[in-house]
Amino acid sequence: MEKKSTHFETKVIHTGYDSKDHLGSLSTPIYQTSTFTFDTAEQGERFFAGEEKGYIYSRLGNPTVTVLQEKIAEIEEGEACLAFGSGMAAISAVLLSLTKANDHVVVSQGIYGCTYGLLTLMEEKYNINHDFCLMENEQQLRELIKPETTCIYLETPINPTMKVIDLEMVVSVAKEYNLPVVVDNTFCSPYLQKPLELGCDVVIHSATKYICGHGDVVAGLAVGSQELMAKIAMTTQKDIGGILAPFDAWLLLRGLKTLPIRMDRHCENTLKLVEWLKTEPLIKAVYYPGDPNHPDYEITKKQMKHGGGLFSFELNGTKQQIQTFMNGLKMIKIAVSLGDAESLIQHPATMTHSVIPEDVRLSMGITDQLIRLSVGLEAWEDIRDDIKQSLELI
């Protein structure tokens, strides 16, 4: 019996797959099939009745996707994982599974724009209400929990303001009220932060980002208890149907193998850039959880391995000057998404978070001057020089 490694770097490569089960194929085969044949009509009946385990139809399960799910469950320290066709499919499946009409959710004051859109839709269609909470202390959280509250949902670090929420603090309050805590862990990847180890109940990823790492897949993941994931698999995943395609699962498996080394490089580059950018006169503020001057630095140190590969900054300038700066970049690409090899820059107020009404957006700290940079894997000096030459244009 092979000894199971406890090292993250080894697990992302070996866990959940044994080439002996796949004709010796080193790389996980892509089971590019919509359906699976049964030996007999009786076997088909047993599969559907759950009396015998086997693949039925790729919306209900696919062997390539299973390898990915097992690997992610293992590296997030969870019991089970489900893969989805996008981060939003994962978020909607989890939130719709944890709520019913007239329920209430407490949400971090700062979330991805489409998550905001989803919460608005849930409110309009099913009267599932939400309150935003800064989650800076227990008191703020307790004040917003109602009898109808069924879960606490948060991002940390928050997209794009880079505020950090103390997960242990949230868990301690949630436990008093017996509420599940759902964490969008996209900005960290499981390499930098493991919310389940800190007592949270569900972790969500837009796997489109660091887990893929190469900008060629849109995908989502949810990790949690066997019981909850089985319930989601049979309801909001199976029947709403936002599943992951086998080829996309394969691309994620390939990306995962290099997640630790990519993350180390993203983090190193980011720290160097942040240190440099803080000294530039046109920059009003730089927000990076790994910066010792960041107000949440102590929480970062407690729950994250490094500060991550993203930061945001405010430029002293008009909207036109900000656009001139972005247009002047020669190597850094103007694009949403994050976590890719290429450095990507975007303006949250007019791009990722533009669906959020202005007053709510400003209350989240997303000003018109805020710019977000997803630091790529290029030489950090080249990223710095590109920013420098473009700042000179304004």
- Alpha carbon 101 to its chain centroid, in Å, reads 26
Nearer to ligand LCS, 364 or 391 (CB): 364
Looking at the annotation, which residues are catalytic? 59, 112, 184, 209
Task: Indicate the residue whose CB is closest to ligand LCS.
Answer: 87
Minimum Å gap between C-beta 211 and ligand LCS is 10
* Three-state SS letters, 133-184: ECCCCHHHHHHHCCCCEEEEEEECCCCCCCCCCCHHHHHHHHHHHCCCEEEE
Nearer to ligand LCS, 11 or 290 (CB): 290
Nearer to ligand LCS, 88 or 391 (CB): 88
Around Cβ 218, how many Cβ atoms within 10 Å?
18
Minimum Å gap between C-beta 338 and ligand LCS is 6
Minimum Å gap between C-beta 333 and ligand LCS is 12
Nearer to ligand LCS, 159 or 237 (CB): 159
Minimum Å gap between C-beta 184 and ligand LCS is 5
CB-based contacts of 99: which residues, under 8 Å, 6+ apart? 105, 122, 126, 128, 150, 151
Minimum Å gap between C-beta 206 and ligand LCS is 3
Alpha helices in the chain (DSSP H): 8-14, 41-49, 63-75, 87-98, 113-126, 138-144, 167-177, 189-192, 226-232, 246-256, 259-277, 297-303, 319-328, 358-363, 380-391
Helix (H, G, I), strand (E, B) or coil at 107: strand
What are phi and psi for residue 68, nearest 5 degrees?
-60, -45
Torsion of CA 110, 111, 115, 118, to 10 degrees: -10
What are phi and psi for residue 184, nearest 5 degrees?
-85, 110
Nearer to ligand LCS, 64 or 352 (CB): 352
Minimum Å gap between C-beta 209 and ligand LCS is 7
Site of interaction with ligand LCS (CB under 6 A): 86-88, 112, 114, 155, 159, 184, 186, 206, 208, 218, 220, 336-338, 352
8-state DSSP, 315: E
CA distance linking residue 29 with residue 247, whole number of Å: 9
8-state DSSP, 131: E
Distances (CA, A) of 333 to 41, 342, 346: 55, 7, 9
Nearer to ligand LCS, 260 or 348 (CB): 348
In the block, tokens 């799910």 appear at: 69
